[in-house]
Amino acid sequence: MFGTKFKIMRLLSSLTFRLQAITITLSLVGVFFGIKSYLHVLDQFGSEKAFSFFNDLMVQVGVALFFNIIAALIIYRIATSPIRKLCEIMRSLSEGKLDVEIPYVEKGTEIGSMSRKVAIFKQNAIDKEKLEEQQQIQESKTKEEKKRTMERLASDFEKAVSSVVEIVATSAIDMQANAKNLSQMSDQTSEQSSMVVSATEQTSSNVDTVAAAVEQLSASIGEINSQVSESTRISGEAVVKVRRADATVSTLSEATQQIGDVVKLIQDIAEQTNLLALNATIEAARAGEAGKGFAVVASEVKNLASQTGRATEEIAQKIATVQAVSKESVEAIQSIGEIIDQTSEISKMISGAICQQNEATEAISKNVQQVFVGTQEVSSSILNVTNVASQSHMAANEVLEDSNKLLQQSELMRTEINSFLHKTRQD
């Protein structure tokens, strides 16, 4: 923009010089025609007329030159000098010197208008410089923010990829360990397969012995089952008898309880009789001689009441003893009944278990036959296992080799990533 305006100012300046040149040229043309007129007058009218004409011509030329000089000075002062100065200012502005002063701004002429335009150009240049400074600051901030963002992204990338590389390396190490373990297990499998083959042959020879033992076990279980059935029957009869004894003892306990009630009633009567005899003795003593016979009878009644009381006490003690024994008998009979019930239940459980055992024995017999067949199949399967173990050993070696390659690749990846992050952070 400054370049275009500067060109316009230079064009105006050159135009001003052209106007001055045109003015001077016109003056010279006038002088030329004046001299030509003088020569014509000199030729036509002689030197006297020509001299007078020459004087007039010189005066006219002098006046014309004077006005031309004045006009040139006026043009120079009004147009050429300000335009040249404005051109210098425009050149300074184009060179970035924005501290120059703009003259003629207050004038109302075309030069003043041009000066104001130049002042606008200066202000635009200042604004542009400020804008460029702001843009540089913003670019610096953007660059710094971009750098921080790249640093953050590089750090995040480093964390993420480093963990992946570590996982890959760890997986490679685990693969190595697993491959070694697989190889060892394959060798052990081969050894165990050989041992299983020999054990299978031994199992086949033992199957017949197991079958004979199972038949003997089945016969023994049948005998035990019959004995348990008889024991269950006897336990049932014992339960019935115990329940009868329990009922009898319960009746005896109730009878002794009733006897105890009667004895208590007799004790109450003896105590009342004793009180009546005591009262009769007191009344006989009051009667004197007349009451002696009554006193003797009262004394006998008292003795009889005392004997009755002692007898009832002994009876009560015996009855208490009988009741205690009856209670213990009832408890013992109930305990026996519970034990017999438990025994019966156990017998039933044993019988059920024996039935299950019998079924299990039959199943064992069938399984023994199946085991015999299975041992033959195991022998053939073990051969296949041996072949598979050999193949597993070869596969383990291949996995070990691949894991070594994977570990090398993970180390190479780690190196490349570190180089990439270093370049990214430098940029």
pLDDT confidence of residue 200: 61
pLDDT confidence of residue 89: 78
pLDDT confidence of residue 11: 46
Tens of pLDDT along the chain (427 residues) come to 444 544 444 544 454 555 556 666 766 666 666 666 667 666 776 666 666 766 776 777 677 777 777 766 776 566 566 777 777 877 777 777 777 877 777 777 777 777 788 788 778 878 888 888 888 888 888 888 877 777 776 676 666 666 666 666 676 677 667 666 766 766 666 666 666 566 666 666 665 665 666 566 566 666 666 765 666 676 666 566 656 766 666 676 676 677 666 667 766 776 777 676 677 677 667 766 666 665 666 666 667 667 766 766 777 677 677 667 667 766 666 676 676 667 667 666 766 666 776 676 677 667 656 666 666 665 666 666 666 667 766 766 776 677 677 677 767 777 877 776 676 666 6
Q: Which amino acid is at 267?
A: Q
Number of residues that make up the chain? 427
Q: Are 336 and 242 in contact (CB under 8 A)?
A: yes
Q: CB pairs under 8 A, 24+ apart, for 373-379? A: 375/200, 375/203, 375/204, 375/207, 376/204, 378/196, 378/200, 379/197, 379/200, 379/201
Contacts of 259 (CB under 8 A, 6+ apart): 315, 319
Residue 90: count other Cβ atoms within 10 Å of its Cβ. Answer: 23
Structure tokens of 325? 């024994």
Number of H helices, E strands in the chain: 5, 0
Contacts of 284 (CB under 8 A, 6+ apart): 291, 292, 294, 295, 298
pLDDT confidence of residue 5: 46
